[in-house]
Amino acid sequence: MTAAPDTTRETPAPAPGTPEPPPPGRRHRFGRPATWLTAAVFGFFFLNLAGVVGVPLVDSFGTRWFTSWLPDGWTTKWYGSAWQEFSLGQVFWTTALVSVLVVGVSVVAGVPAAYALARRTFPGKRLVMLLFLLPILVPPITYGIPLATVLYKFQLAGTLTGVVLANLVPSVPFVVLTMTPFIEQIDPRIEAAARMCGARTASVLLRILAPLLVPGILAASVLVLVRTVGMFELTFLTAGPDSQTLIVALYYAVFSAGIRTQQSIDAMAVMYTLSMLILLVIALRFVNPTQLVTRVKEEGR
């Protein structure tokens, strides 16, 4: 009979001076240095974020807060005081009116432009797309001052119309940028079939394309709404006493002359932050930020 081969082998001894390998599981137990560094960076970021958001939030409910870790007492009167002192009812109404007008005009003007860019090929198409991207890629203050100068020349600055016109400059390209991928995903043969059945261009747009573009229109509308509510530069340069949005009113409450209660200003800041948070949550349900950034990079090449 043949003896079974010996499968056991002796582990060779390490060479002299070679450091001993770490015990099994030690690296996974303590993690790599890069993991600890990443965790520290994220922890520092969220700690600062909690401080930036938490301090005004706590102060807006405190009676007095000077030397202790927490206020001496708690109250909600500062929100009522801020609402009356800063006329927030009128400010919220102006913000909502400006946002709705900007969204409506942007959709009406941007969707046909996006359709033309998605379905037509013409000389200079990439240049036109680049012109649409400039108001998004360039900081608003760079073109906000010349734009405000033109609006003041035609006596439109300081009015609600001037604020809407100024916010349309970046909003219409935003709609075009968002709607173009949605239109490109629709098979052109659907439109061709409708035209063969006798449908005119208006009927194709309203009865065929419009129902298919509802998700894209909602996404573009929410994006424009968030951008308009948070747009400070253009609104600040063109708004008047009766056409201030919430973010501009908050700026004047902090930096204008006079003595104001800090808790009331913090209450106003909390209301602004809460409104923006709600809009951002709604926007993320319709729009994927990764796809939007990818689209901007592709069109910018």
**What's the pTM?**
0.76
What local confidence, expressed as pLDDT, does residue 17 receive? 57
**Pick from 278, 179, 289: which is nearest to 225 by CA?**
278
Contact present, 174 and 227 (Cβ < 8 Å): yes
Amino acid at 75: T
CA dist 143 → 61, 135, 235, 273 (Å) = 40, 8, 13, 27
Query: In terms of CATH, what superfamily is 79-300?
Result: MetI-like (1.10.3720.10)
Q: How many CA atoms lie within 13 A of 199 on its CB side?
A: 17
62 phi, psi to nearest 5 deg:
-95, 150
In Å, how far from its chain's centre is CA 128? Answer: 24
What local confidence, expressed as pLDDT, does residue 297 receive? 47
Q: Which residues of the chain have pLDDT under 50?
A: 293-297, 299-300
Write out pLDDT tens, residues 21-53: 555 555 555 557 778 888 888 888 888 877 777
Domain range list for the chain? 79-300
Two structure tokens written together for 24: 């099994």
What local confidence, expressed as pLDDT, does residue 5 receive? 54
> Which residue carries 């930020």 as its tokens?
289
Contact present, 247 and 232 (Cβ < 8 Å): yes
What local confidence, expressed as pLDDT, does residue 54 receive? 82
Other CB atoms within a 10 A radius of the CB of residue 142 amount to: 12
What local confidence, expressed as pLDDT, does residue 184 receive? 85
Q: Which residues neighbour 144 within 8 Å (Cβ) at sequence distance 6 or greater?
A: 166, 233, 234, 237
User: What own/partner pairs with CB < 8 Å and gap ≥ 24 does 125-129 have?
Assistant: 129/299
Write out pLDDT tens, residues 97-115: 999 999 999 999 998 889 8
